[in-house]
Structure 1
Amino acid sequence: MDYSFLNIIDILGTIAFAVSGAFSAMERKLDPFGVVILAFVTAIGGGTLRDVLIGNTPVAWLRNEMTATVILATAFITLFFGRYVKQFQKTLFLFDALGLGVFTLIGMEKGLRMQLSPGICIALGTITACFGGVIRDVLLNNVPLIFQREIYASACILGGSLYLLLQKTGLSNDWNTIIAILTIVLIRIIAMRYKLMLPRVYENRM
């Protein structure tokens, strides 16, 4: 098993997204099956959509039993120990931010390997990182987070754009990846810390 930096953070990001989905289900008082389904959807929804779009089938999580095992274990731990897990929301937010950065880069790398255009690669990275949450919110009849004013998908776009620019500097790909991930994480942290949001476009028109 490869315990490289990216794989470890990938697992932590998967755990964070699974916890997010499980908590969302628990807040709506869904049964245990619903909690597990929401955990899976949140953690793998974006990657699944990405793989379907680029024809990479069977999709990644079907070829990696570890992913399903981690999500299932996380869902049940959250279900039975939710009150204790919830005390570590700041840590979970950090994992979520790290996962957002890692999944953005994973999606972009998939596109780059297929020699797709830069814009499409950034889109694939954003889809990988964000669309599990979109599917989760749709299932719960909520307006998806990335369609609101919070800086979320835009952090992926900025970090992905920086990654492509860094590739022209001569730095090693590992450094490019780390810098892009940290940029996405810092954007999320700064946005949450100072409550930065995208501007309203309808405020003066309604």
Structure 2
Amino acid sequence: MAYTIEDLKSKIFEMYPEVKQQSFNVNIYYSEEKQSYIIRFQKGTSELITHLDKQDADDCMNNVKCIYLGMQIGQFIKNFTEKERFEREKSEEVAQYKAIEKTVALDEGGYLKNINDWNEKVAQMIAIKEGVGILTKEQLDIVKFIHEYYKIYNYFPVLSHVCKNINQPKDCIAEKLIDPIVAWKIAGLPKPDDNLINIVKYGVTPT
């Protein structure tokens, strides 16, 4: 059966209208090695690369749907839609947290001026400013404990003590937040002096 690659692409658009509805780019070439058509669907940074053997392509041109191709297209659309929704919701969430910056006072170093202004939303805002991104539940547990501990004892807890009290691995701060000073800042504590910064980094509580 004689047909061109453009004929096959047009037939795919015809038989799977959802491809065109989703505005996917479609590129097709024939692989002599695999004796099949390689089909690449793309939209943004998402892509699906699959193949259609000669018989399936012939069937497609005769208006017989390839179940395998249809399932892959359907899954690709589902994955893309979910990714798009996640990115949209995340972007909206980030924008909401960034707006909080206008409601609280930070010093020139990005530290919260009034510890009593701190809450989870403020923590998220500072985390985004520090490049950590939106905090997970585990990260929030860490900074909440640090914040509450500081308000009671007026100093930063031993790092392993933090992890133990929230039932996380002993190196949880390094694993989740990388730098204890970043955790200090996100927890809404006042700007530490140089000596205190060294103490916090080495995980030793002042006596």
Shorter chain as denominator, the TM-score bin is under 0.3
TM score, norm. by length of structure 2: 0.23
Bigger share in strand: 2
Between Structure 1 and Structure 2, the one with more helix by share is: 1
TM-score normalised by the chain length of structure 1: 0.23
Specify which structure has the bigger relative contact order, considering alpha-carbon pairs within 8 angstroms and separated by 6 or more residues: 1
Q: Which has the larger radius of gyration?
A: 2
